[in-house]
């Protein structure tokens, strides 16, 4: 079930009504209600994969209790290994099996040894990378004695499967989300109002920005061999905003919906294209995944409390693995690796910029130095996104080669002429300009529509304008799925 579908538009009010008007007097009933709703939401794609989520939750539920109930370090470790290996095993089989078989065969063929191995026709369950990571963090935190396990299977299953963030995050930590299932919910009007505003902001990013850009991006990347450097640069720029609008839009909708039910999810994006260096970018982009890797991979590897060379090693491991998390393709691995490389100067530098400090704070315009920092950071991310979007490393390099060729100075319309993309590209850039203007004016806030103060009539005018833009300028037709579902 997609957030931007009519089915969901029926589903959400129904669940909302049942939650606040039928099950509101009993916490257990409320949680059970959310679990049923989450099963329906997920099962709408494929009921068969619901079993997989339950298997993952079942193992972690009992592993968590087992770890807590024993003081034997070996037994504790064994249970943790069982939890992690079953989660990573499920993930590895469904997401990476074919990739490993293919890569293995290609590697041997490369040294002249032909191997015969067949891949399997495996369907990737929606959101598998998100819920397995969320579930794993639960047992790791219990093992680290940072969290008490729950003894209520309904609460735990509701936590793992909480429908707003089940399929594309934010990847919640048990320490933040699980305790919220222990507290009887009271409707918080201010929270719900801001939740609705955030849902609208997310819808704008998804169905106006991302879906519009997607149309041009798909055409440009699908025909990259016939495109000029200027057209390919246009495609890379549009993809930069497509992926942002798509993914952060989903997160905004998820956070907003959770607020309607009285839950606070973690912020997943914090206006990342207003970052002044790549380190700041990664503290503002997919925050829930970055902090997951920081806490469960980077810090256990020694984090920043080791020599510079080991720090660099740790950073490279984290970013490469993070790239691999996104998908079973060398393009994602390279994308992660490249972002790791970007971090090296920052690791070598002593002072890091805090993510909470916004650019041009207290001023309307940035200084020339800030403009330069914003532009170079943005350019570096655009370059990396080419690898993320390309079908293969080879395609990515040939796109970059073409961008850095004299054809960069040609008129992109010459390449795009045959594809009827002029209007789409124009619409996309207008929408992007609106997005970035709002983000600039709202930097420091949690989302673009977080409006407080001022005349109510102005606020309402802004809400009406946003709804009108969503309705009138939404992209229609074609595949409008969220990109991150495939991860």
Binding site for another protein (CB under 8 A): 5-7, 9-10, 20-21, 24, 186-189, 192-193, 196, 423, 460, 463-464, 467, 471-474, 476-477
Cβ nearer to another protein, comparing 463 with 485: 463
Q: What is the 3-state secondary structure (H, E, C) of the chain?
A: CCCCCHHHHHHHHHHHHHHHHHCCCCHHHHHHHHHHHHHHHHHCCCHHHHHHHHHHHHHHHHHHHHHHHCCCHHHHHHHHHHHHHHHHHHHHHHHHHHHHHHHHHHHHHHCCCCCCCCCCCCCCCCCHHHHHHHHHHHHHHHHCCCCCCCCCHHHHHHHHHCHHHCCCCCCCCHHHHHHHHCCCCCCCHHHHHHHHHHHHHHHHHHHHHHHHHHHHHHHHHHCHHHCCHHHHHHHHHHHHHHHHHHHHHHHHHHHHHHHHCCCCCCCCCCCHHHCCCHHHHHHHCCHHHHHHHHHHHHCCCCCCCCCHHHHHHHHHHHHHHHHHHHCCCHHHHHHHHHHHHHHHHHHHCCCCCCCCCCCCCCCCCCCHHHHHHHHHHHHHHHHHHHHHHCCCHHHHHHHHHHHCCHHHHCCHHHHHHHHCCHHHHHHHHHHHHHHHHHHHHCECECCCCCCCCCCHHHHHHHHHHHHHHHHHCCCCCCCCCCHHHHC
Smallest distance from the beta carbon of 427 to another protein, in angstroms?
A: 8
Q: Is the dihedral of CA 376, 382, 384, 386 positive or negative?
A: negative
Q: Which is nearer to another protein, 32 or 463 (CB)?
A: 463
Residue nearer to another protein on the CB measure, 11 or 330: 11
Contacts of 362-368 spanning 24+ positions with Cβ under 8 A: none
30 or 150: CB nearest another protein:
30
CB of 201 to another protein, least distance (A): 15
CB of 181 to another protein, least distance (A): 18
CA distances to 100, 108, 120, 136, 163 from 105, rounded to whole Å, are 8, 5, 14, 31, 39
CB of 173 to another protein, least distance (A): 28
| Cβ nearer to another protein, comparing 175 with 471 | 471
399, two tokens:
């796109």
Choose between 118 and 452: whose C-beta lies nearer to another protein. Answer: 452
326: annotated active-site residue: yes
Nearer to another protein, 5 or 226 (CB): 5
State the nearest-atom distance from the C-beta of 293 to another protein, in Å: 37
Largest CA distance in the chain: 73
Candidate list 215, 286, 326, 447, residue with the active-site label: 326
CB 460, min distance to another protein, A: 7
What angle do helix axes 27-43 and 153-161 make, rounded to 10 degrees?
Answer: 40
CB of 406 to another protein, least distance (A): 31
Residue number with CB closer to another protein (111 or 189): 189
- Least distance (Å) between residue 476 CB and another protein: 4
Which string of b and e fits 309-340 if b means at least 16 CB within 10 Å?
eebbebbbbbbbebbbbbbbbbbbbbbbbbbb
What is the nearest approach in angstroms of another protein to the Cβ of residue 423?
A: 6
Active site residues: 326
């Amino acid at each position: 079930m997609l957030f931007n579908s009519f089915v969901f538009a029926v589903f959400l009010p129904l669940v909302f009504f049942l939650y606040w008007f039928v099950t509101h007097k009993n916490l257990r009933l409320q949680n059970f209600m959310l679990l049923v709703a989450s099963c329906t939401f997920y099962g709408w794609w494929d009921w068969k994969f619901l079993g997989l989520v339950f298997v993952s939750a079942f193992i972690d539920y009992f592993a968590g209790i087992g770890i807590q109930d024993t003081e034997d370090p070996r037994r504790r470790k064994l249970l943790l290994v069982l939890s992690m290996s079953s989660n990573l095993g499920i993930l590895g089989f469904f997401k990476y099996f074919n990739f490993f078989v293919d890569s293995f065969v290609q590697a041997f063929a490369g040294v002249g040894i032909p191997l015969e191995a067949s891949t399997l026709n495996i369907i990737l369950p929606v959101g598998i990378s998100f819920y397995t990571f969320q579930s794993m963090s639960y047992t790791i935190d219990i093992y680290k004695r940072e969290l008490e396990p729950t003894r209520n299977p309904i609460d735990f299953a509701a936590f793992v499967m909480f429908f707003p963030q089940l399929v594309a995050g934010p990847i919640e930590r048990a320490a933040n989300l699980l305790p919220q299932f222990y507290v009887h919910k009271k409707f918080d009007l201010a929270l719900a109002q801001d939740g609705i505003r955030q849902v609208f902001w997310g819808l704008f990013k998804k169905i106006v920005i991302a879906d519009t850009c997607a149309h041009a991006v798909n055409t440009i990347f699908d025909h990259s061999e016939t495109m000029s450097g200027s057209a390919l640069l246009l495609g890379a720029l549009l993809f930069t905003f497509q992926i942002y609008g798509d993914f952060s839009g989903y997160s905004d909708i998820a956070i907003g919906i959770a607020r309607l039910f009285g839950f606070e999810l973690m912020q997943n994006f914090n206006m990342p294209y207003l970052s002044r260096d790549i380190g700041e970018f990664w503290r503002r982009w997919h925050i829930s995944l970055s902090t997951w890797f920081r806490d469960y991979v980077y810090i256990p590897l020694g984090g920043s409390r080791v020599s510079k060379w080991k720090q660099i090693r740790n950073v490279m491991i984290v970013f490469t693995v993070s790239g691999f998390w996104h998908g079973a393709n060398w393009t994602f691995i390279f994308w992660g690796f490249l972002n790791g490389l970007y971090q090296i100067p920052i690791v070598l530098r002593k002072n890091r910029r805090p993510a909470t400090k916004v650019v041009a704070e207290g001023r309307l315009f940035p200084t020339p130095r800030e403009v330069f920092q914003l532009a170079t950071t943005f350019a570096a991310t655009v370059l990396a996104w080419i690898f993320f979007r390309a079908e293969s490393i080879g395609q990515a390099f040939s796109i970059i080669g073409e961008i850095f060729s004299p054809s960069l100075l040609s008129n992109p319309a010459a390449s795009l002429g045959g594809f009827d993309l002029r209007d789409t590209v124009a619409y996309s850039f207008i929408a992007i300009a609106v997005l970035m203007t709002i983000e600039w004016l709202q930097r420091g806030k949690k989302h673009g529509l977080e409006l407080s103060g001022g005349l109510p009539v102005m606020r309402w005018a802004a809400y009406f304008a946003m709804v009108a833009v969503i309705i009138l300028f939404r992209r229609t037709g074609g595949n409008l799925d969220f990109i991150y579902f495939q991860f």
